[in-house]
Amino acid sequence: MSTVQSLINDVSQKINALETAQALYSRQLSPDFSTFEYISTDELGLSRILAALLDPKGSHAQQESFLRLFVEHCLPVIYQDYNWQIFFNNLEKTEVFLEEVTGKSNTQRRMDIYLRCQVGDESYGICIENKPYAADQSNQLIDYYHELKERGHSSRHIVYLNEYNGTPDEKSVDARVLEKWKKDKEYSHLRFSDLIGWLKACQVECQNHSVSEFIAQLTKFIQKQFMGIEDMNEDNAILDIIKQNAATIDASIKVSNTVDRMKKELIAKLKVDLLAKYKKTDYELDISYIGEGRRYEQIRFIIPGYNKAWVCFEFDNAGFDRPILGIKFTSVEAAKACPHTETMNTMLTDKKVSSSAQWPAYYYFDPQDWKGSSEAWLMINEGTMADKILEEMDKVFRLLSEKGCFSD
């Protein structure tokens, strides 16, 4: 038997053993239970959670310890900057605000999380822009920076928090301005995955069991939602097998090198299945924008006679990962010009609907994790994924069409 086949057999046996154990002890382990299934995890909900943890006067009662650890782990630029040492030594004086209106600059935006600290004549301001799902808006970060400046903060810092983009969109802040902020140590980019180290440090220092368990649940949510990690126990078990010796490491690399090819071949099968099962009615199926695994690849329902938007199934991440489904406009301007966009996100009542500049209404398609889970790929291989995509896209189309959204 080849080393590759042996590796696959060992991994398969280990996973089967874990699944058996989980089935036998599910009542004790509750492996699928998560507090965050019952908590709002949209942009505002996540901002509220992070702001509560960062607040030295928060109900967690751990005083400024969480904020101190956040600066240490997530904002090394501030932590190592002499100009911020007074702030760091007086963290207990920090005030934390949620959805703070940018009134001083007269831009009337809302800073997701705003931290303010006054120590004598020294004033410190931090704006955390939380972008878990939505797109950047025009001049957004520029306006936040000006707001911090107008509020008289001698030391100010913009934090851009997301997972999938390395930098904000240039419409939010010009690349040259952003480089100046970085040079002046006034900007940090954070990924949600970067928060894991901070949260684990908070757990170690936390002296309350309930708060510690909440942080553990938040960590688990971030790992699943933004990192594609479904089960750390399973990951650790597989890693142990892979690292056994040189042969298993070599075999795992060979397996890894074929995964992208396998996914592309299954996507090609999905396209064939979609064409075979699609029944043309009031729209046309377009599968020409999917196949290579680039970010934003999509499947479209084109509406004849309506060229401003289409019903769209799109991968929000590269490598065929995190698909979303909804209505997408050809441009931000086209979306703004449509009289129905303000009400579109209230139509899909059975889904957790979000909206952004070009997407007045969309939701994350289930299964959502196409990177760390085999569920979606097994469905494609069995031929059931095409049925699910066509059914849901048709439902969205019918609902929007009935509301007159495709009429000028």
pLDDT tens digits, residue range 220-274? 888 888 876 665 565 666 666 667 777 666 666 666 677 888 899 999 999 999 9
Lowest-confidence segment of 48-62, 223-237, 281-295 by average pLDDT: 223-237
What pLDDT shows up at residue 5?
A: 64
Contacts of 157 (CB under 8 A, 6+ apart): 75, 77, 78, 125, 126, 127, 148, 185, 186, 187, 188
**Verdict on whether the full-model pTM lies above 0.95:** no
| pLDDT over 80 (residue 318) | yes
CB 141 within 8 A of CB 102: no
On whether residue 220 sits in a domain, the answer given is: no
The residue assigned the tokens 């997407």 is 359
| 164 shares a domain with 64 | yes
| 392 shares a domain with 282 | yes
On whether residue 255 sits in a domain, the answer given is: no
| pLDDT over 50 (residue 29) | no
What pLDDT shows up at residue 280?
A: 73
On whether residue 407 sits in a domain, the answer given is: no
What pLDDT shows up at residue 35?
A: 78
Query: How far apart are alpha carbons 392 and 122 in whole angstroms?
Result: 55
On whether residue 218 sits in a domain, the answer given is: no
| pLDDT over 90 (residue 166) | no
Lowest-confidence segment of 87-91, 177-181, 287-291, 368-372 by average pLDDT: 368-372
pLDDT tens digits, residue range 149-161? 999 999 999 999 9
What pLDDT shows up at residue 402?
A: 81
On whether residue 65 sits in a domain, the answer given is: yes
On whether residue 254 sits in a domain, the answer given is: no
Domain that holds residue 203: 43-213
Mean predicted confidence (pLDDT) in 162-179: 86
| 180 shares a domain with 91 | yes
Q: Of 98, 78, 51, give the one whose Cα is nearest residue 156.
A: 78
Here the contacts of 108-116 (C-beta below 8 Å, separation 24 or greater) are 109/140, 109/143, 109/144, 109/147, 111/144, 111/147, 112/43, 112/47, 113/47, 113/50, 113/51, 113/54, 115/54, 116/151, 116/153
| 357 shares a domain with 271 | yes
DSSP category for residue 93: G
The tokens describing 134, both together, are 């939505």
The H or E element spanning position 329 is strand 321-329
What pLDDT shows up at residue 233?
A: 60
Q: Where are the alpha helices (DSSP H) in 76-150?
A: 76-79, 85-88, 140-150
* ω into 367 cis (within 30 of 0): yes
| pLDDT over 90 (residue 163) | no
| 93 shares a domain with 13 | no
| 22 shares a domain with 66 | no
Contacts of 113 (CB under 8 A, 6+ apart): 47, 50, 51, 54, 96, 97, 98, 127, 128, 130
The tokens describing 140, both together, are 């957004």
What pLDDT shows up at residue 25?
A: 46
On whether residue 342 sits in a domain, the answer given is: yes
Query: How far apart are alpha carbons 346 and 260 in whole angstroms?
Result: 37
Which of 3-7, 29-33, 198-202 is modeled with the greatest confidence? 198-202
| 235 shares a domain with 204 | no
Query: How far apart are alpha carbons 167 and 176 in whole angstroms?
Result: 12
**For the chain, what is the mean pLDDT?**
84
| pLDDT over 50 (residue 18) | no
How much of the chain, in percent, has pLDDT values that exceed 70? 82
Q: Where are the alpha helices (DSSP H) in 154-207?
A: 175-183, 195-205
| 278 shares a domain with 187 | no
DSSP category for residue 3: H
Which of 28-37, 82-91, 230-239 is modeled with the greatest confidence? 82-91
| 202 shares a domain with 153 | yes
| 196 shares a domain with 295 | no
| 270 shares a domain with 153 | no
On whether residue 172 sits in a domain, the answer given is: yes
| pLDDT over 80 (residue 147) | yes
Query: How far apart are alpha carbons 34 and 369 in whole angstroms?
Result: 17
| 197 shares a domain with 50 | yes
| pLDDT over 90 (residue 117) | yes
Q: What's the number of domains the chain is made of?
A: 3
| pLDDT over 60 (residue 316) | yes
What pLDDT shows up at residue 295?
A: 86
The tokens describing 227, both together, are 């990192």
pLDDT tens digits, residue range 184-206? 999 999 999 899 999 999 998 99
